[in-house]
Chains A and B, each alone.
Chain A
Amino acid sequence: MIERPSGAAAGGQLIAEGVVCRYDGATQGQAALDGFDLTVQAGEFVTVLGPSGSGKTTALRVLAGFERVQAGSVSIAGRLVADARHHVPPEQRQVGLVFQDYALFPHLTVEDNVGFGLRDLETSERRTRLAPIVELTGLRGFERRYAHELSGGQQQRVALARSLATRPVALLLDEPFSNLDRHLRSSLRREVREIVKSTGTTAMLVTHDREEALAIADRVAVMARGRIVQIATPESIYSHPATPEVAQMVGPADTMPGMIRGQLVATEAGAFRFRAPAGAVADGQRVQAVFRAHELEFGPFAEGPDMRVAYREYRGEFTQYGIRLPSGSIVRVRRRSLAPVEVGTRVTITAPFDRPVLVFPA
């Protein structure tokens, strides 16, 4: 079964092409994966970002071999592992898995958990293989402990060490930080990235946390309705989202219809300077305008459309306001927490010169 699928990108370590995956019994309706394409280069760290139900966990389970595909193909390290007719079982795919709930073997010590995948090696060789990975993941001194004797962060390190010890051709991480508290989450994800990078492992992480997705990845793939909508570097996906949906996924933003009028886009909230990241728009064209909450400002001016402060949420470093438009819809605006503006105040929304509103062809 070692054949190179046609059209595989050279050097792609994880390649999914046109994958369709439907759970049994769900014959009608949406497939969990519906034309899923993804290529992860060797040594690359890719995150798949999507809301729940977008199919991101299914994508990971398809790559790992726990779900079968009905169409399309999956190849790992140049080897076709799944298509409509073939299915290489998980144990023969050489991919490492890190679960949200760690899935440590509770009947084994840390050392035995980490060495679980190295059963073919002799004890001495096993030790030498384990020592650096235990060191790297900061588990020195915990080798004899059991999983329930460790903190959540340590348990996740064990899970990571366990999957890296076998030197997998790719590492798949399923929301690995979601059971950890906020503070630990950001420090551990930095550490995980460093560990993964230092071992040169190809990695794919799925998450619904945009901050996590942007912070840890070389490239971010945004997923919706069973397929990848856009894949790009974090900076590029943020500044050049392909669709309003992607824009909303990577940062807090609201959309509303608008029309191009010369240099401006006219919307219910007023006319704004704009930028079209997904391709040029013509004068008079109908568009979707995306307002990013922290790229807007407002002032207490009583002119133009009737817009008022509907609510105010103090968040410390900034304050988030909800501005109600004449139609009743709400636009969120984040401001530095200076002088608070009272609820009910009539305001005007503006976009600063260097941060134009994003527009997409409607």
Chain B
Amino acid sequence: MALPFARIGRAPRVSRPRPPFPLVAAGLLVGAAVLIPVAYLLFRAFGAADSTLDMLFRARSAAIIARSLLLVVIVTAGSVTIAVPVAFLATRTDLPWRRFWAVAIALPLVTPSYVAAMVAVAALGPRGMLQGLLDRVVGIDRLPAIYGLPGAALVLVLLCYPYVYIMVRASLRRMDPALEEAARGLGYGQMEALRRVVLPLLRPAIAAGALLVALYTLSDFGAVSLLGYETFTWAIYLQYETTFDRTAASALSLVLVVAAVSILMLESFTQARGRYYRSTAGTVRPHGVARLGRWRWVAFGLVGALFAIAVVAPLSVLAYWALRGGVQPGLSFPVAAAWNSVRVAALAAAVTSVTAFPVAVLAVRFGGRLTTLLDRASHIGFALPGIVIALALVFFGVNFVTPVYQTLALLVFAYVVLFLPAASGAIKASLMQLNPHVEEAARALGRSEWRVAAQVTIPMVMPGVLAGAAMVFLLTMKELPATLILAPLGFKTLATSVWSAASEAFFARAALPSVMLVAVAGVPAAYLLLRDAPRESNRSSQR
């Protein structure tokens, strides 16, 4: 009998091995399951085609589309503007504390958007901390409104730039230093070589980061809901919450899906014909370090300011409110919510990792049309905002599988659909690094398929599985809209506690669960960040 991952061996060019049946069956099951929400969404929207069209052509819909796209453009542009120079400073210059910044600058990734939005309102809102401070010092009793576009854009840029930063940093570190040297040899100065060679080569990384930012912004619910900026997600939620109008919500969801898919397609159009790869195999020669000279401390100041605004300030505000809340009577520690969060996140991480495994093995080790299709299907959660999947599952649950409606099972299923690409991506990456010859060597040394899987393959892929699980845990902890909509009655998590308290401006009550959320989410995040933290060489010279 064939074991899924023991038959592994990179597909030879001549004939592709047929994947073992249990593996294919598992893969197809996963594929079918993750397609349920989309299929149901389409079914509903077409089932009520007239009212769907009617809904779509209302002026209000156009305004929602315009607002969403405006926010996406501003946040994406802002993130790229911040992230690219910072990534460059942190990887290629003699910026003081370079190794610290490499990780520290990526920290906002941990912050859920509703926590950041809550902090923004508490600090910069009409009766917020900054206004209070200014009132006392210089007598200003009004600040520009934080609600609406400015607040949402500010919060999301500060949350999203790390996506671009991480992509660009990785690309800068992988780039063949000989390319820059070749340009220098052809008479280009350092800055010119940067502009004419390095920046064009960074384009795919910037595009990939920008894509993540755009999708994140489009699907964000927490920030826009707390800051009252009516984009798709917030409109869909209002529609659902206030009128329980399925058709209207489905129609808007469909437009949101179209917008997300368009962004995905836009990215593939920007790919140029030139290819982006490192021309040598093997070790990367360390890059030269540009000397900033007297600009060194200016750069330090700028990066430090970003860190202060994006990381230190929000944490300080949270700590302030958590301490204020701590001395108020009647505010107890949100133990139950914390326990629920950890429990459901661990469950989601475990289930998603197991689900992702056959998908990853099929995609990496057995090419083919069906496998490719399955791989694409598993990425649905990447393009579909949480609120869309949650709504589709609510309607699906109510109508077809009433027993699971209002259970943890349906909630965990939503997480699996949403976060499957994160887990399978991590597993795929580690499978791809595993040279099939290693497994073949073990076979040749007399190990059976089963023992090769147990003693070679699984131990070597384990870091990838763990990384994927950590990612899913982190994402589940932070997830808001699906949790809000699908959680069984009375099931409160840290995320829903923060959101409900913050939406009524009870900052003291929101602060404590926020702090706990960031602290718990920080554990897997630290694991992930330190895992690929740069191992810089001690050499500080041009090499």
Contacts and interface: CB of A to CB of B under 8 A. Distances in A.
Given A23-B543, A103-B179, A97 B279 contact: no
Interface string B116-151: 000000000000000000000000000000000000
Interface in B275-323: 275-277, 279-280, 288
A29 interface: no
Residue with the highest number of chain B CB atoms closer than 10 Å, among A91, A104, A109, A148: A91
Given A66-B542, A68-B542, A101 B188 contact: no
Nearest to B203: A107
Interface string A35-66: 00000000000000000000000000000111
B185 A106 contact: no
Contacts of B273: 146
Contacts of A147: 274-275, 279
B189 A148 contact: no
A103 B186 contact: no
Nearest to B285: A101
B417 to A, nearest CB: 37
Contacts of A179: 280
Contact of A146 (B192, B275, B280, B543): B275
Nearest to A92: B187
Given A106-B274, A107-B203, A117 B542 contact: no
Interface in A81-102: 89-97, 99-102
Interface string B157-197: 00000000000000000001011011111111110110011
A91 to B, nearest CB: 5
A313 interface: no
Contact of A148 (B176, B275, B288): B275
Interface string B503-543: 00000000000000000000000000000000000111111
B327 interface: no
B274 A108 contact: yes
A166 interface: yes
A68 B541 CA distance: 9
Interface in A300-333: none
A148 B201 CA distance: 14
B176 A107 contact: no
A207 B260 CA distance: 53
B200 interface: yes
A348 interface: no
Given A24-B539, A94-B187, A104 B279 contact: yes
A94 B277 CA distance: 28
Contacts of A64: 181, 185
Nearest to B279: A101
Contact of B201 (A66, A91, A107, A146): A107
A25 B538 contact: yes
A100 B540 CA distance: 24
Contacts of A146: 273-275
B234 to A, nearest CB: 40
Interface size bucket, A side?
A: 35 or more
B1 interface: no
A65 B193 CA distance: 15
A143 to B, nearest CB: 14
Nearest to B188: A91
B14 interface: no
A116 B288 CA distance: 22
Given A24-B541, A101-B176, A107-B203, A66 B181 contact: yes
Contacts of B193: 91
A25 B539 CA distance: 6
Interface in A116-166: 116-117, 146-148, 159, 162-163, 166
B272 interface: yes
A166 B186 contact: yes
Contacts of B288: 66
Residue with the highest number of chain B CB atoms closer than 10 Å, among A68, A107, A166: A107
A202 B487 CA distance: 75
A101 B543 contact: no
A146 B543 CA distance: 28
A67 interface: yes
Contacts of B200: 105, 107
Given A24-B539, A107-B272, A101 B189 contact: no
Contacts of B189: 89, 91
B201 A162 contact: no
B188 A102 contact: no
Given A107-B201, A107-B203, A117 B277 contact: no
A159 B279 CA distance: 13
Nearest to A109: B274
B340 to A, nearest CB: 50
A117 B274 contact: no
B176 A97 contact: no
A76 to B, nearest CB: 12
A94 B184 CA distance: 10
Contacts of B543: 23, 67
B181 A106 contact: no
Given A90-B184, A104-B279, A99 B274 contact: no
B181 A90 contact: yes
B275 A101 contact: no
Contacts of B181: 64, 66, 90, 97, 99, 103
Given A101-B279, A107-B274, A146-B274, A23 B186 contact: no
B543 to A, nearest CB: 7
Given A25-B539, A91-B193, A103-B279, 13 more contacts: A23-B541, A24-B540, A66-B542, A89-B189, A91-B185, A91-B189, A105-B182, A105-B197, A105-B201, A109-B274, A116-B183, A116-B186, A162-B186
17 contacts: A25-B540, A64-B181, A66-B181, A66-B288, A90-B185, A91-B184, A96-B185, A103-B178, A103-B181, A103-B279, A105-B183, A107-B272, A107-B274, A108-B274, A116-B183, A146-B274, A163-B185
Interface of B: 176, 178-179, 181-190, 192-193, 196-197, 200-201, 203, 272-277, 279-280, 288, 538-543
Identify the 3 closest CB pairs spanning chains A and B, nearest first: A117-B186, A103-B178, A101-B280
